[in-house]
Amino acid sequence: MPRFAANLTMLFTELPMLERFAAAADAGFQGVEILFPYDIPARDLSRAAISAGLEFVLMNTPPPNWAGGPRGFAAEPGLEDRFRSDFDRALRFAEALRARHVHVMAGYAQGPEARATFTRNLAWAADRAPHVSLTVEPLNPVDQPGYFLADFDLAAEIIAEVGAPNLGLQFDSYHAQLITGDAMAVWRRHAGIVRHIQVAGVPGRHEPAGGMIDYPGFFAALDQSGYKGWVSAEYNPRSLTEQGLGWLPRR
């Protein structure tokens, strides 16, 4: 059975952020991720994770520079300097947290120039931080219209083109289902380059139970494939988080 992490940006939101770590551990999670953790000092987040006995699994880059601003510039032509500056800021934060993975967000752009920009920036980032595991994640165009990376085959092509050992795919089953209509088929096609997995129910992005994805079957498929990474719960609970954790496999 894979190791499960709680996305503390979305789960246990009935508690202050620093109290969510202990709640996640009590619920049976072994790790945590926070999408944009920059509003709280890294030392406080690290202390909370260590105290709860949890690994800090993933965070996103870049840090938002203003409330409500765009999240991601890696594929936006003309913003290379901004991407690189923001990446360095995020990298310092990730290193303080000992984050296992850093998700590099593509941003909102289209066309061949955007692809070339994304590829160059990823190659630069992978070389800049060879000791850090970097991921890219396709996002569905319904929730994120205009986002550059909205195709798993394209993500795989770019990862292969960059050819860096520290760059891999972030597989979000919710996005995979909405993009292709068959998350399991996407998993089978790209399992070999997946570094990190996120799960949520379809439709609605609630608990990963019922709906259009067979999660017991998916978790069994992960075991059969030998996947050794983390599976993060990244969904909007229907009510209090603990009331909806019947889906979480118990060891």
Active site amino acids:
137, 234
Q: Which amino acid is at 78?
A: G
Any residues with CB less than 8 A from the CB of 185 and at least 6 apart, and which?
Answer: none
Is 177 within 8 Å of 214 (Cβ atoms)?
no
DSSP lists the bridge partners of residue 135 as 103, 168
Dist CA 189 CA 191 (whole Å): 6
Q: Give the position of tokens 């060879």.
A: 130
First-residue to last-residue Cα distance in the chain: 8
Tell me how far apart the alpha carbons of residues 71 and 220 are, in angstroms, rounded to a whole number: 34
- Token pair recorded at residue 87: 């990446």
Q: If you compute the radius of gyration of the chain from its CA atoms, what whole number of angstroms results?
A: 17
Cα separation, 57 vs 32, in Å, equals 6
Are 202 and 180 within 8 A, CB to CB? Answer: no
| Dihedral angle computed from the Cα positions of residues 105, 109, 110 and 114, in that order, rounded to the nearest 10 degrees | -70
